[in-house]
């Protein structure tokens, strides 16, 4: 019975932490929105002197994501005067090459630059090679560099709002975050959404940058040594924190840059995705061992409660069975509350920019309930196995992780499209 009490208490505390997290995040988002309102050009003073320095948006492409065409159109129709879009495509045979050129023909040719990666370095991630080339191609007239991803579809005022915090001399990087809003009831899509909901909390509260929607001054980017860091990094956003804070500057979260991804994915894709994301965390976050501890506490406690319910029922020990069931029910119920609480916040942010995130219907709620335990098991497995990951396959490119943060590209070929994957994450 002692073990039963301990596990039940632990599950209840873990569940209550979900409520605390939502309350803290809600307060942070609302306070942050007040700051954005003060800095985004809505105040009387700012209306007289709008903040519109020359901007370059950089987009690296490998493969044609489901929303790429719409995403490109949104990037090219921003409510902003002085900006250009620099698109770096991995290879001319890549399906993204044709999509980018087709969309660019609809707009002013002077606003869009489409390039092929000229140097695919074997010592860094393919995306880092693309971003280095793009930044080095910019002329001195560009004041601010903005990064976006192929699976991002932005609002009309995204650019103006995203760069607004850079009016403050102490802010060196403005960033958003990502939310997955499943467009179907597939288990993989919901597991990814649930895991990402939890992962987005430290991302937002600790101002971890997300390169899918972030901005920095060009001069800060160059003097921070970020380009040299990218030359030996597998990912782009991982080195940003040290580069910017090394200049004595702060990172600022922008709620309007909290982007919604509506793609679907299989469970197999989700398992690989979560493990890869946690591998990046292992490489670039000093608190990763706390992530491992949290994942083990949740997944093991939940499993012990389920096991104890089964054995207690078999032995006729109804008190122990009910106690374990209460702990499990509290934990899963408050976990669902945590997910819906964060979903409410992203829906609130999305509505403010004219976007819409659908609510969860009764049938989908059933899928969510089934997905919760599975998510925690995958989370625990991925967090532990990420400690030993030495080989990564990312969009068909294979890498070997060497000592420290060193990386070696071991296999490359142009992206191979799969016409059967319409609407699926790649």
Do the beta carbons of residue 221 and residue 138 sit within 8 Å?
A: no
Classified as helix, coil or strand, 412 is coil
Here the tokens at position 126 are 């393919």
pLDDT of amino acid 418: 62
What is the mean pLDDT of the segment spanning 26-36?
A: 81
Q: Same domain for 254 and 381?
A: no
User: How many other C-beta atoms are found inside a 10 Å radius of the C-beta of residue 118?
Assistant: 10
Q: Which range in 33-47, 125-139, 200-214, 405-419 is most confidently predicted, on average pLDDT?
A: 125-139
Distance CA 271, CA 352 (A): 33
Is the residue at 248 inside a domain? yes
Percent of the chain scored above 70 by pLDDT?
94
Strand order in the sheet with 407-411: 391-394, 397-401, 407-411
pLDDT of amino acid 38: 60
Structural domain including 301 reads 2-15+287-391
**Position 44 confidence tier, pLDDT thresholds 50, 70, 90:** very low
Q: Same domain for 105 and 120?
A: yes
Is the residue at 228 inside a domain? yes
Percent of the chain scored above 90 by pLDDT?
80
Is the residue at 399 inside a domain? no
Is the residue at 401 inside a domain? no
What is the mean pLDDT of the segment spanning 32-57?
A: 66
Lowest average pLDDT, out of 37-51, 152-166, 338-352, 359-373, goes to 37-51
The pLDDT tens digits for 331-377 are 999 999 999 999 999 999 988 888 888 777 767 777 788 899 999 99
- Please, what is the Cα angle at 351 between 185 and 180, to 5 degrees? 30
Q: Indicate if the pLDDT at residue 133 is higher than 60.
A: yes
pLDDT of amino acid 9: 93
More confident residue, 57 or 3: 57
Q: Indicate if the pLDDT at residue 107 is higher than 50.
A: yes
Is the residue at 421 inside a domain? no
Q: Indicate if the pLDDT at residue 47 is higher than 60.
A: no
Q: Same domain for 78 and 223?
A: yes
Q: Same domain for 158 and 81?
A: yes
Q: Are strands 407-411 and 397-401 parallel, antiparallel or unpaired?
A: antiparallel
Q: Same domain for 184 and 239?
A: yes
**Total domain count, the chain:** 2
* Short-list 161, 157, 163, CA closest to 79: 157
Is the residue at 73 inside a domain? yes
**Position 421 confidence tier, pLDDT thresholds 50, 70, 90:** low
Distance CA 142, CA 55 (A): 6
Q: Same domain for 340 and 310?
A: yes
Is the residue at 170 inside a domain? yes
Q: Same domain for 249 and 348?
A: no
Q: Indicate if the pLDDT at residue 37 is higher than 70.
A: no
What CA–CA distances, in Å, run from 264 to 51, 128, 367, 425?
A: 37, 26, 14, 6
Q: Same domain for 134 and 83?
A: yes
Q: Same domain for 40 and 88?
A: yes
Final residue of a domain: which of 205, 236, 267? 267
**Position 42 confidence tier, pLDDT thresholds 50, 70, 90:** very low
What is the mean pLDDT of the segment spanning 220-244?
A: 96
Is the residue at 416 inside a domain? no
Q: Same domain for 200 and 256?
A: yes
Tell me the average pLDDT of the chain: 91
What is the mean pLDDT of the segment spanning 290-311?
A: 95
Do the beta carbons of residue 371 and residue 190 sit within 8 Å?
A: yes
What is the mean pLDDT of the segment spanning 154-179?
A: 95
pLDDT of amino acid 2: 85
What is the mean pLDDT of the segment spanning 297-306?
A: 95
The pLDDT tens digits for 242-276 are 999 999 999 999 998 999 999 999 999 999 999 99
The pLDDT tens digits for 387-417 are 999 999 999 999 999 988 999 999 999 998 7
Q: What is the CA radius of gyration of the chain?
A: 22
More confident residue, 172 or 110: 172
pLDDT of amino acid 168: 94
Final residue of a domain: which of 236, 267, 298? 267
pLDDT of amino acid 43: 40
pLDDT of amino acid 139: 92
Q: Same domain for 254 and 344?
A: no
CATH code: domain of residue 121: 3.90.550.10
The pLDDT tens digits for 72-97 are 999 999 999 999 999 999 999 999 99
Q: Indicate if the pLDDT at residue 36 is higher than 90.
A: no
* Short-list 10, 15, 14, 26, CA closest to 337: 15
pLDDT of amino acid 167: 95
* Short-list 140, 215, 234, 192, CA closest to 372: 192
Q: Indicate if the pLDDT at residue 419 is higher than 60.
A: no
Final residue of a domain: which of 267, 299, 334? 267
Q: Same domain for 231 and 321?
A: no
pLDDT of amino acid 376: 97
User: How many other C-beta atoms are found inside a 10 Å radius of the C-beta of residue 363?
Assistant: 9
What is the mean pLDDT of the segment spanning 278-290?
A: 94
């Amino acid at each position: 019975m002692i073990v039963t009490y301990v596990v039940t208490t632990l599950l209840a505390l873990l569940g209550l932490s979900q409520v605390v997290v939502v309350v803290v995040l809600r307060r942070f988002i609302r306070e942050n929105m007040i700051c954005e309102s003060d800095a985004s050009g809505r105040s009387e003073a700012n209306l007289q002197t709008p903040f519109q320095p020359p901007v370059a948006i950089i987009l690296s492409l490998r493969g044609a994501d489901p929303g790429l065409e719409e995403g490109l159109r949104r990037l090219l129709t921003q409510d902003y005067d002085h900006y250009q879009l620099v698109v770096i495509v991995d290879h001319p045979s890549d399906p993204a090459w044709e999509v980018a050129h087709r969309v660019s023909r609809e707009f002013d040719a002077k606003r869009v630059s489409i390039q092929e990666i000229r140097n695919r370095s074997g010592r860094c991630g393919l995306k880092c090679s693309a971003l280095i080339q793009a930044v080095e191609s910019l002329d001195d007239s560009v004041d601010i560099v903005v990064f976006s991803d192929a699976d991002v579809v932005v609002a009309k005022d995204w650019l103006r709002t995203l760069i607004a915090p850079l009016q403050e001399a102490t802010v060196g990087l403005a960033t958003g975050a990502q939310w997955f809003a499943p467009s179907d009831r597939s288990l993989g899509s919901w597991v990814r959404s649930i895991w990402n909901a939890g992962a987005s909390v430290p991302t937002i509260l600790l101002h971890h940058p997300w390169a899918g929607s972030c901005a920095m001054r060009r001069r800060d980017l160059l003097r921070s040594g970020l380009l040299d860091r990218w030359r030996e990094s597998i990912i782009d956003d991982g080195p940003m924190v040290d580069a910017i804070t090394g200049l004595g500057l702060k990172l600022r979260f922008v709620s309007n840059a909290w982007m919604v991804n509506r793609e679907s994915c299989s469970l197999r894709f989700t398992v690989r995705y979560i493990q890869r994301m946690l591998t990046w965390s292992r490489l670039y976050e000093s608190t990763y061992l706390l992530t491992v501890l949290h994942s083990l506490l949740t997944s093991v406690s939940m499993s012990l409660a389920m096991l104890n319910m089964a054995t207690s029922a078999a032995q006729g020990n109804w008190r122990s069975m009910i106690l374990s069931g209460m702990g499990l029910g509290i934990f899963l119920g408050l976990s669902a509350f945590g997910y819906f609480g964060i979903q409410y916040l992203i829906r609130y942010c999305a509505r403010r920019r004219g976007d819409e995130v659908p609510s969860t219907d009764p049938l989908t709620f059933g899928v969510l309930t089934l997905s919760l335990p599975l998510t925690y098991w995958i989370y625990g497995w991925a967090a532990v196995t990420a400690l030993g990951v030495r080989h990564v396959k990312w969009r068909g490119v294979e890498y070997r992780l060497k000592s420290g943060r060193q990386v070696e590209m071991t296999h490359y070929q142009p992206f191979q499209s799969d016409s059967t994957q319409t609407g699926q994450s790649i």
